[in-house]
Each structure stands twice: as structure tokens, then as C-alpha cells.
Amino acid sequence: MRLRVFVHPNSKVEKVERRDGYVEVWIREPARKGKANKRLVEIVAEHFGVRRSKVRIVEGFTSREKVLEVELEK
């Protein structure tokens, strides 16, 4: 499954909200040295109940707007 994601780094809280057509994720990590991307993958994996290895960033490595691929486990 592919997800359009909008990320809010440096947030005071961490949460995931599904919107119409995309997912919005707030994370505490700063957008430096890949820290925000790493935490984003962890949060999305937790949210969907899959291992981190099943989530990867496909587009938008340096942008707040990203496309993630999530391999749902059966």
C-alpha cells in the first residue's frame, strides 16, 4: 500500500491522523541527518502494526511531503 504523508518535525507530541487522501504525522525528532525520516518509519510501522522493515520512503526524502510504501503483513 502506498501512502501520501505530510510530516511535522520538531513537534511537542507524536501522533498520526488519517486525512482524506493522506496521512499527517507529528514527530519529535528534528529534520536533520535523517532523524525525522527514521522516526517517521518507526511511527508508521507502529500505527499499522507491522515491522519497521515493511515500511520505506519512496519519494520525498528531504521534503515534508512524502510517499511511503507499507507492506501489510497477513
Question: What are the structural domains, with CATH classification, of the chain?
Answer: 2-70 (3.30.1200.10)
Residue 74 has what pLDDT?
A: 65
Cα 9–Cα 59–Cα 53 angle in degrees, nearest 5:
80
pLDDT digits (tens, 9 = 90+) for 6-52: 999 999 999 999 999 999 999 999 999 999 999 999 999 999 999 99
From 59, 12, 13, select the one nearest 37 (Cα to Cα). Answer: 59
pTM recorded for the entire structure: 0.92
Provide DSSP, the chain. Answer: -EEEEEEE-S-SS-EEEE-SSSEEEE-SS-SSTTHHHHHHHHHHHHHHT--GGGEEEEE-TTSSEEEEEE----
**Arithmetic mean of pLDDT, 54-61:** 97
